[in-house]
Amino acid sequence: MSYLDPLLQQLDKAGSSMDRDAVKRAYDLAVQAHEGQIRQSGEPYVTHPVAVAGILADLRLDLASIITALLHDTVEDTNISHDDVRLAFGPEIADLVNGVTKLTQLELSSESTKQAENFRKLLLAISKDIRVLLVKLADRVHNMRTLGALGGEKKRRIALETMEIYAPLAGLIGMQHIRDELEDLSFEILSPEARTSVIMRLRSQTVASDELINRIAGQIKTLLAEHRITATVYGREKRAYSIWRKMERKAISFEQLSDIYGFRVLVETPDDCYRALGIIHQKWSTVPERFKDYISTPKRNDYRSIHTTVVGPQSQRVELQIRTHEMEGVAEQGIAAHWKYKTGDGGTFDWRPDVDESRSTFRLREMIETLEQGATPQELLDNTKLELFQDQVFCFTPKGRLIALPRGATPVDFAYAVHTDIGNRCVGAKIHGRVSPLKTTLQNGDIIEVLTSNVEKPNPDWEKFVVTGKARYTIRRFVRAKEKAEFAQLGFSLAERAFAEHGQKFSKKAVREALKRLDIATEEDVYERLGRGSLHWRKLLEAVFPGLEIDSEPEALPRAKKKAPKKRTQKKSKKGARAVPIHGLVPGAPVQLGTCCHPIPGDRIVGIIETGKGVGVHTIDCELLRTFQDAPETWLDLSWDDPSAADMVPVGRLQLQVLNQRGTLGTLSTVIADNGANISNVKIGDRGRILYELTIDVEVEDLKHLTQIMAALRASEPVQSVERVRGDQTNRDEN
């Protein structure tokens, strides 16, 4: 029995003129390769590649795609080699088959790692030819259609992967029909009871609704015909997963949904779309905030349509999508529709950056560029999952360039979407001409001007609120590079001092020659590990100078030389680049001012080298120091320099008992301001009818300044007591 006949019939139905002999040769090779192989369903294995080819034939793809579908499992599962395919069908098809094959040839340690690595390889394969993705999506569609024969856990894993990766990717390239089917098939496996419930509710309404749908569609068509607009109008029932997702997102019941059924109005030209919209809005009242124009501002996957909701015949809320027949093809088939409309049968689909065939490929290219810049597969997968599932907002540059972003995006996301360099140098943003915080959530239609500086660098705190994968990864990469450089600089200084303490001349060459004994790849890694505290200076000396006598109980190492010039460093990179006026530190070393004791200039301080954190600065009476009393080699002698020589703003934390009366907070603010200080944070603690507790962070110059403020507060009428906070005894949030 030949399974080829239905495929040839599909090609005939689609009007394809591709080479039937080549298709038959590919089918014969697939039959030969998969002979004796049986699917879980009991069918001959060759039925699977034929079905995949049939899906692509329905999309009217080219000959190379059809042949690739027929052969996509031969190199992976049979004795057929890449060279065999190349000799039989040429390098183009051989490379396509190889691209699909590579996605499933990994045996890694965990399913999550395997999934991430497969995703990476998928993107790299797509970067060479987008048809790899189309074949893979068709392969996944057929696998999902026939998943019933698999066991429960494996079935759930495949369905979850489909829901999280393949369905969103189909949506990303505009293939909504395939996305809808993949989501619904996955939904059936992941949440069978929920899907059954939705379907039963839909069935209970079908008989009563069919007549209403036909009547409304007829009235819309008649209305447009009266104004000489030829239109195809039909109602459609939404898929179960789409309905369930809306119920979850809006936290509403099935009965509260007003758009279970939607209507599509297909016209001839874009001009007809707007004419039809005007006629419908004149006839029926519109529902506020339910209008979207994706024709003037297409979605990132090139989707174009007008969406509106009106209170139509018999006071029914009617959701309408108005678009041309060509837009309908793009909406359902995405990139495949571009193939259909732009290249015809047998054409070559080119999506290089200089070919503006579809906005949908831009996001794919962006993801691939991120991968090529060094993102790990898991980072890329996590960021992409978050982004693919989000709706979008449309914003504009001052010159009118449209930037589409995920909903919830901020000006920082916008800056990185414009250009990586713009994002890296961003210092602020104006929205509609008004300066706005960088964490502002952008809205549709916002015009954003990004303010930049040539000396600015990415702020690590941005990672807390950006939503795009590109912004998140670029910021994270910068932070890693900066931290690595800082730890390496600190480690280099530690190595120099360790050598000097033991009467040895420091030599980079000597360190390089000790790499094998240390089992460390590079000299830079040695210094970085020393700085992070994961490599002890004693181990370095032993590796460089085997047999050298090293003090068993040395003095605290490294210590600042008494006559050493004053040195500056940088505050912990995650808090931004601010100079910390402390003597005895290594330039560029990562530093943290202890939140356990809140040191400020004037306090006696010491430094502790903490593994993976750099140098922690603490007051001499800080409780944390007890933890390190048996590790004197981690202590540093530190002292404050003139704070005016840096841009650091010390913060003193105060705890107050104040009267519970009107104007208390205003009085405290005035006192602090009159004494030349600024409040950076306030927390209200226990509040009684007479007294309540306040914790206030005050930006001060030094200890003398803080003492002056405390005295002024004690003299204020509402204040009953003021104490400087040490440690976390107030059980407060760190903001």
Instruction: Write out the catalytic residue numbers.
Output: 76-77
The answer to whether residues 283 and 223 touch, using CB atoms and an 8 Å cutoff, is yes
The answer to whether residues 597 and 653 touch, using CB atoms and an 8 Å cutoff, is no
Amino acid code (one letter) for 355: V
Residue 341 DSSP one-character state: I
**Neighbour tally for 150: CB within 10 Å:** 17
Could you identify the residue written with the tokens 């540093």? 636
Residue 578 backbone class (left: φ over 0; alpha: ψ -120 to 50; beta: rest): beta
Task: Give, in order, the Cα–Cα distances in Å from 443 to each of 43, 102, 297, 386, 542.
Answer: 52, 41, 14, 19, 60
d(CA 725, CA 175): 59
Q: What is the DSSP string of 405-454?
A: EETT--HHHHHHHH-HHHHHTEEEEEETTEEE-TTPPP-TT-BEEEEE-T
Q: What is the DSSP string of 6-68?
A: HHHHHHHHTT--S-HHHHHHHHHHHHHHTTT-B-TTSSBTTHHHHHHHHHHHHTT--HHHHHH
Angle at which helix 20-33 crosses helix 47-58, to 10 degrees, equals 150
CA dihedral (334, 335, 341, 344) positive or negative? negative
The answer to whether residues 534 and 612 touch, using CB atoms and an 8 Å cutoff, is yes
At CB < 8 A and 24+ separation, what contacts does 153-159 make? 155/189, 156/189, 156/190, 157/111, 159/185, 159/186, 159/189, 159/190
The answer to whether residues 548 and 502 touch, using CB atoms and an 8 Å cutoff, is yes
The structure tokens listed for 35 are: 């002979």
The answer to whether residues 682 and 727 touch, using CB atoms and an 8 Å cutoff, is no
Helix H or strand E encompassing 600: none
Residue 660, classed as helix, strand or coil, is: coil
Residue 263, classed as helix, strand or coil, is: strand
d(CA 305, CA 31): 44
Q: In what order do the strands lie in the sheet with 691-699?
A: 678-687, 691-699, 651-659, 719-724
